[in-house]
């Protein structure tokens, strides 16, 4: 029996934990399916122990579970490992993917989009063989997972070559804000798919939508990870009206913008927020304002929330993002941004949204000529196989010679 991977909070009553980390796992160039299978199986044992509140070096101690969960993803390169039992999934092949960073730095991260690599980025660190997403309620729960994963893989180094089948080559962390806003100061995540059946219908890969060679992925999903740096200094130079016209919502209330006059002054829905509420997410009576309205003027239609929505479920994705903050370093000021994480039954949905002119194509954030507020630090698409009875870890049929139990 195949089940959706854990770590995707799609059902009613589920809320993503507050803290997030993603570890990027790079396979040694000489690694084989046997070595990778052994490493991933050992990691799954470790991650399940952490999920149950255990710690390898504190056997018998009681530790909080912190709603900890893990999710394994396979990048395109994973299927090039010697002995792989599956070809590269159809939806991981070009044109679905990220470009390499230009030799001189920068360059378009995705053809047809308005997203460029950030200055100072020499390599896209996310485009490796595997990733693992960790979510938990405390910073310790996700930091501990990265530490234990790294140490376990390091312990697998060959005594002669000094190499291990897998290593943690990069990691990124993030958090959800208490005020449900982003570093742009606006409400975030208001316009998202309804939990339950609607959300699952967008997330879950179904057999009829998969190529014959990819049927083993039925019940799984595709995850997009994009580490987006926000130019908060540039953003703060914009007037409140300019910010609201780019976002498509008012800053304080979160009400949808319905008109922008010739002077650039925005007008929100006059019925929003409902009586007695100051923000759209503070009262059930405001539920109708969470989705941007269809009846807006042409200037408002160019805003981010209008371009990213279009009221068409079959083209939408499920977002599960986390903000980040990085301390200043020598020669570099502090940085803030968003770990953009989305789940969809096919990455076609995301790339359609990012490349189509009437959606987000050629725009950096909103409008046709808006400032470049966002830059890509790292990004990749991963397929997340379903949980199958008898498999040591999701997707084990790719590297293991052991047939899973089918019930």
- Average pLDDT over all residues of the chain: 92
Say how far apart CA 345 and CA 324 lie, in whole Å: 26
Q: 346-356, pLDDT tens digit by residue?
A: 999 999 999 99
Average pLDDT over residues 69-82: 98
Average pLDDT over residues 34-62: 92
**% of residues, the chain, pLDDT over 70:** 96
Structure tokens at 29: 């160039």
Report which of 386, 292, 323, 288 is spatially closest to residue 177, judged by C-alpha positions.
Answer: 323
Q: Given a cut of 90, is residue 277 above it in pLDDT?
A: no
Non-local CB neighbours of 100 within 8 Å, separated by 6+ positions? 107, 124
Say how far apart CA 285 and CA 78 lie, in whole Å: 48
Say how far apart CA 146 and CA 298 lie, in whole Å: 47
Which residue(s) pair with 108 in the sheet? 116
Report which of 53, 68, 75 is spatially closest to residue 7, judged by C-alpha positions.
Answer: 68
Q: Given a cut of 50, is residue 73 above it in pLDDT?
A: yes
Which residue(s) pair with 344 in the sheet? 222
**% of residues, the chain, pLDDT over 90:** 78
pLDDT confidence of residue 167: 98
Chain position carrying tokens 């780019």: 246
**Which CA distances in Å does 155 have to 133, 383, 396?**
21, 27, 21
Average pLDDT over residues 336-362: 94
Residue 403 CB neighbours (<10 A): 9
Average pLDDT over residues 327-344: 93
**Which CA distances in Å does 395 have to 2, 183, 195, 403?**
11, 36, 26, 12
**Which CA distances in Å does 249 have to 76, 191, 238, 289, 302?**
37, 11, 15, 10, 12
For 6, phi then psi, to 5°, come to -75, 165
Q: What is the DSSP letter of 37?
A: H
Say how far apart CA 335 and CA 69 lie, in whole Å: 27
Which of the residue ranges 72-76, 109-113, 189-193, 224-228 would you say has the lowest mean pLDDT? 189-193
Report which of 34, 25, 7 is spatially closest to residue 130, judged by C-alpha positions.
Answer: 25
pLDDT confidence of residue 403: 57
Residue 62 CB neighbours (<10 A): 7
Radius of gyration over every alpha carbon of the chain, rounded to an integer in angstroms: 22
- Per-residue pLDDT band for 331 (boundaries 50, 70, 90) equals confident
- Per-residue pLDDT band for 311 (boundaries 50, 70, 90) equals low
Chain position carrying tokens 């799954």: 44
pLDDT confidence of residue 55: 87
Alpha helices in 12-154 (DSSP H): 33-51, 139-154
Domain boundaries, the chain: 2-236+315-398
Q: Which helix (H) or strand (E) holds 246?
A: helix 240-247
Average pLDDT over residues 346-371: 87
Average pLDDT over residues 117-131: 95
- Per-residue pLDDT band for 310 (boundaries 50, 70, 90) equals confident
Q: 135-192, pLDDT tens digit by residue?
A: 999 999 999 999 999 999 999 999 999 999 999 999 999 999 999 999 999 999 887 8
Buried-state track 188-217, b at ≥16 Cβ within 10 A, e below 16: bebbebebeeebbebbbbeeeebeeebebb
Q: 290-299, pLDDT tens digit by residue?
A: 888 888 999 9
Q: How far apart are the first and last CA of the chain?
A: 5
The more confidently predicted of residues 361 and 132 is: 132
Average pLDDT over residues 227-244: 96
Say how far apart CA 138 and CA 143 lie, in whole Å: 9
**Which CA distances in Å does 221 have to 48, 204, 342, 383?**
20, 5, 10, 6
Burial zone of 130 (CB within 10 Å; 0-12 exposed, 13-18 middle, 19+ buried):
buried
Q: Given a cut of 60, is residue 249 above it in pLDDT?
A: yes
pLDDT confidence of residue 405: 45
């Amino acid at each position: 029996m195949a089940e959706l991977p854990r770590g995707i909070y799609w059902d009613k009553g589920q809320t993503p934990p507050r803290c997030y980390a993603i570890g990027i796992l790079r396979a040694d160039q000489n690694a084989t399916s046997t070595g990778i299978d052994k490493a991933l199986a050992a990691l799954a044992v470790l991650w399940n122990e952490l999920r149950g509140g255990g710690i390898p070096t504190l056997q018998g101690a009681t530790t909080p579970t912190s709603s900890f969960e893990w999710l394994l993803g396979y990048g395109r390169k994973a299927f090039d490992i010697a002995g792989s039992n599956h070809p590269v999934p159809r939806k991981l092949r070009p044109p679905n993917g990220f470009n390499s960073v230009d030799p001189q730095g920068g360059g378009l991260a995705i053809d047809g989009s308005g997203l460029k690599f950030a200055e100072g980025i020499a390599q896209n660190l996310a485009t490796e063989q595997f990733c693992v997403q960790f979510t938990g309620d405390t910073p310790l729960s996700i930091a501990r997972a990265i530490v234990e994963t790294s140490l376990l893989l390091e312990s697998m180094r060959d005594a002669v070559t000094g190499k291990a089948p897998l290593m943690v080559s990069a990691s990124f962390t993030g958090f959800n804000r208490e005020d449900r806003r982003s570093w742009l100061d606006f409400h975030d995540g208001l316009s998202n798919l309804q939990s339950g059946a609607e959300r699952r219908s967008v997330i879950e890969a179904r057999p009829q939508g998969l190529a014959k060679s990819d049927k083993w992925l039925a019940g799984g999903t595709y995850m997009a990870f994009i580490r987006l740096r926000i130019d908060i200094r540039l953003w703060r130079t914009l007037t409140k009206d300019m910010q609201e016209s780019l976002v498509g919502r008012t800053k304080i209330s979160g009400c949808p913008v319905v008109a922008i006059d010739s002077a650039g002054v925005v007008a929100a829905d006059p019925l929003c927020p409902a009586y007695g509420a100051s923000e759209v997410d503070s009262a059930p009576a405001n539920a109708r304002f969470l989705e941007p309205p269809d009846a807006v003027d042409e200037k408002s239609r160019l805003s981010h929330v209008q371009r990213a929505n279009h009221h068409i479920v079959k083209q939408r994705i499920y977002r599960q993002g986390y903000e980040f903050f990085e301390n200043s370093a020598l020669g570099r000021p502090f940085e803030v941004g968003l770990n953009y994480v989305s789940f969809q039954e096919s990455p076609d949905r995301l790339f359609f949204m990012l490349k189509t002119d009437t959606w987000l194509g050629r725009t950096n954030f909103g409008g046709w000529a808006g400032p470049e507020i966002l830059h890509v630090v790292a990004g990749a698409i991963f397929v997340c196989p379903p949980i199958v009875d008898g498999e040591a870890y999701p997707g084990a049929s790719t590297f293991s010679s052991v047939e899973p139990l089918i019930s």
